[in-house]
Structure 1
Amino acid sequence: MIKVYDRTNKSYEEELVAGKGYLEWIYGSPIGKNITELIIKKRLFSKLYGRFCDTKLSANKIEPFVDKFSIDMTITKKGINEFTSFNDFFTRELTLESRPINKDKNILIAPGDGRLIAYENIDLENIIQIKGLTYSLKKLINKDDIANNYQNGTCLILRLAPTDYHRFHFVDSGVPCESHFINGHYYSVNPIALKTIPKLFCENKREWSLFKSDNFNDILYIEVGATCVGSIIQTYSPNIRVTRGNEKGYFKFGGSTTILFFKKDCVKIDDDICEQSKLGFECKVALGEKIGTKL
C-alpha cells in the first residue's frame, strides 16, 4: 500500500496504482525480476508500447482508464471523445483556470501535478532515493562542476503517476538553458520499484538542464523517464526568456519523475512538506500551488 499526504485535508490517502499487481510481481518475485532485467527495462519494450499508445486503436483504453481512476475530465481542454490515441489523452492539456499560478515572486510553486518529497541540506553523494537507498547527483548528471554547486542545497522530487497530468512547467521567470540527454534503462519510478532498484534515477534515461531563475538562483531541472515512457518531450526554446508557469515539456505514456535542485540558502520548503518527507510520505501537489518561500 502506498500512502500519500493530502495537504488540504491534512490526512493520508491510499494511492490507486495503475498496474499494482504487475509492478509487485516484476519487482518483487524472482521470475518477475529476471523478466524486468531481460525485457522490461530495455528501450525496445517501452518504444513498442509507446508506439501502440500513439495509434487510434489505443484510444479504446481511454474511457476505462478515466472511469477506473476517477480522472476529472471537466478541466481538460479536450473532451474525452476528442482524443485520437491514448498518448493524446495521456499528454492532455488542462484549462488555465484549473491550475492558477501563484504570481508572488517570493513564492516557490509546484512545477506540476504529482507526489512531492523534499530533502534539505543535501549531501551530493548520498541523496535519498527512498529510505535505505541513496544516489549521487554527480552520477545523476555526469557533470561534477555543476553538481558541486548544489552541496547543502535542496532537492525536490515530483513523482508523476500514470493517472496524473503529465506536463511539467517552470517554477519562476528566467532563462532556460539547453537540455542534455543521458541514455539509460526504463525501470518504473513507482515506490514499489524504488525500494528494490539501487540508484534507480541514475540507471534510467534522463535529461537535465539549468534554469537561470530570476528569484531562486540557478535551478537544476532533471526529467527521468520510466517503463513505457516513449519520450521526454521538451517544448521550450533554450536561451529564450519564460515566465512563471510556462510549460517546459511533457512525458508520453508511463509514470515519470521531475527532480529540481536548488543551491544552498535559496528557498525554504513549506513545513508540512518537510515534516511528511522526514516521515517518508510524499505530498500531493498541483501545478502552481505554493510549496516554499524565497530566502
Structure 2
Amino acid sequence: MNFDKINYIERKTGEIKTENPPGEGFLKFLYYNPLGKLPLNLVVRKKFLTDYYGKKMAEKSSIAKIKPFVDANYINMDESKKRIEDFTSFNDFFIRELKEGAREIANGEDILVSPADGKILVFENLQETSKFFLKGDDFTIEEFLMDKEEAKKFIGGTIMIIRLAPVDYHRFHFPADGEIGESKLIDGYYYSVSPYAIKKNFRVYCENKREISILKTERFGEIILSEIGATMVGGIKQTYKPNTFIKKGDEKGYFFFGGSSCVLFFQKNKVSFDKDILENSSRGIETKVYMGEKIGKAK
C-alpha cells in the first residue's frame, strides 16, 4: 500500500520539508491495515498503555534517552532554561521551559499569535475540511464541545489545528489578551493525532480525551481553546489561574510526553488569518509556526 509523505512548509524559509514521525511503520499498520484494527481498539487507544509509557518516561533511567533524542532531531538546547545534564527524566526534558526571549511575541492588540510551536491548518469554514479529512464522517462543534448552546456561538466560524510533534516545544500559551475561564475535561480515548491517523478518521478529535476553555477577548470575540490527548501523551497540565485576565503569550499549560494538538475555534468574521496559512491549508499542507508568531489579525 502506498502512503503520501507528510510534507509541510517551513514558514521561516518557505521550504517544503518532509516529516518522519516516530513509529511511522506502526502507525501505518494500525490505521491502514485491516489487521491493525484489533490492537488499535483493544490496546493502543486505551488509557493504560499511555499511562504505562508516561511512567517509564518519568523514571530516572529515561535520562539516557535525552541526548540521543536531541542529537537526532537537531533540537536547539540554547533556548532551554535547563542544560541536558540538569533534567531529572525524559519527561522533565519534554516539558522544558524556554529562556525568556526565546520566542518573540508579535506586538499589537489586533494581532493574533500562535499559541504553540507546531504545524498549523486553518479552515475558515469547517466544511472545507471534508476535502482532506472527513471522508463522509460528520464532525460538529456541538459534539466536540458537548455543549449545544456554546456551539451556537461558533456556527460558520473558523477551526484552527496546531499539531505538536514529539520534537516540538510542548508548552502552550494564550493567542490573545483576554479573560480566561475554567478548563473543562471531556474524557475519551487516546488515538494518535498523526496525519496518518487524522486523514483516516478526523473524528478522533471528538473521540479523544480533551480539555476545553473559553477565552473572552475584546478584539477577537470568544475563542475556544482545546488541548487534545493522544497516544503516548501522558497528560495535559493546565498552569494558568482560571477566571483571570491574561496577556498574549502567557503560558496556559503543557503536555507530558508525546505528540498532540491544540484545536481552537473562532467566531464568524472575527479574525483575518494570514494569507500563506490559508493558502497552504486549502491544499491540505501544514505550515510550521512558532509560539508568539503572528498568524492573523482582528477584522
- Aligned with 1:77 (options 71, 74, 81): 81
38-47 or 128-137: bigger deviation: 128-137
* 1:17-76 Cα shifts (integer Å, max 9, x gaps): 122122222222233321111101000110111111111011111111111111111111
Q: What displacement does 1:191 show?
A: 0.4
State whether residues 158 and 257 of structure 1, in contact with CA within 8 Å, keep that contact through their aligned partners in structure 2: yes
Q: State how 1:39-78 maps to structure 2 within 5 Å.
A: 39-78=43-82
Counterpart residue identity of residue 53, structure 2: Y
Corresponding residue SS for 2:193: coil
- Equivalent residue number for residue 213 of structure 2: 209
Residues 129 and 172 (structure 1), Cα distance of their counterparts in 2 relative to 1, 3 Å cut? farther
Corresponding residue SS for 1:81: helix
- Equivalent residue number for residue 97 of structure 2: 93
- Equivalent residue number for residue 194 of structure 2: 190
Corresponding residue SS for 1:195: helix
- Equivalent residue number for residue 277 of structure 1: 281
State whether residues 30 and 40 of structure 2, in contact with CA within 8 Å, keep that contact through their aligned partners in structure 1: yes
- Aligned with 2:172 (options 163, 168, 173): 168
Q: What displacement does 1:122 show?
A: 3.2
Counterpart residue identity of residue 280, structure 1: G
Q: State how 1:101-116 maps to structure 2 within 5 Å.
A: 101-116=105-120
State whether residues 151 and 263 of structure 1, in contact with CA within 8 Å, keep that contact through their aligned partners in structure 2: yes
State whether residues 55 and 85 of structure 1, in contact with CA within 8 Å, keep that contact through their aligned partners in structure 2: yes
Aligned positions, number: 293
Q: What displacement does 1:127 show?
A: 5.5
Corresponding residue SS for 1:241: strand
217-226 or 20-29: bigger deviation: 20-29
Query: C-alpha distance in 2, partners of 1:83/1:20?
Result: 28
State whether residues 160 and 263 of structure 2, in contact with CA within 8 Å, keep that contact through their aligned partners in structure 1: yes
- Equivalent residue number for residue 131 of structure 1: 133
Q: State how 1:243-258 maps to structure 2 within 5 Å.
A: 243-258=247-262
Q: What displacement does 1:128 show?
A: 4.8
42-51 or 11-20: bigger deviation: 11-20
Which ranges of structure 2 fall in alignment gaps of 5 or more residues? none
- Aligned-residue Cα RMSD (Å) equals 1.5
State whether residues 128 and 135 of structure 1, in contact with CA within 8 Å, keep that contact through their aligned partners in structure 2: no
Query: C-alpha distance in 1, partners of 2:22/2:129?
Result: 27
* 1:215-252 Cα shifts (integer Å, max 9, x gaps): 21111111111001111101011111111100001100
- Aligned with 1:223 (options 201, 221, 227): 227
State whether residues 211 and 221 of structure 1, in contact with CA within 8 Å, keep that contact through their aligned partners in structure 2: yes
- Aligned with 1:31 (options 29, 35, 39): 35
- Equivalent residue number for residue 264 of structure 1: 268
State whether residues 115 and 284 of structure 1, in contact with CA within 8 Å, keep that contact through their aligned partners in structure 2: yes
Are 1:121 and 2:121 matched, yes or no?
A: no
- Equivalent residue number for residue 237 of structure 1: 241
Normalising to structure 1: TM-score of the pair? 0.95
Normalising to structure 2: TM-score of the pair? 0.94
Counterpart residue identity of residue 157, structure 2: G
Q: What displacement does 1:100 show?
A: 0.8
Query: C-alpha distance in 2, partners of 1:80/1:103?
Result: 32
Query: C-alpha distance in 2, partners of 1:214/1:166?
Result: 28
Which ranges of structure 1 fall in alignment gaps of 5 or more residues? none
Residues 131 and 167 (structure 1), Cα distance of their counterparts in 2 relative to 1, 3 Å cut? same
Query: C-alpha distance in 1, partners of 2:200/2:279?
Result: 25
Residues 30 and 253 (structure 1), Cα distance of their counterparts in 2 relative to 1, 3 Å cut? same
Counterpart residue identity of residue 188, structure 1: S
Query: C-alpha distance in 1, partners of 2:193/2:171?
Result: 16
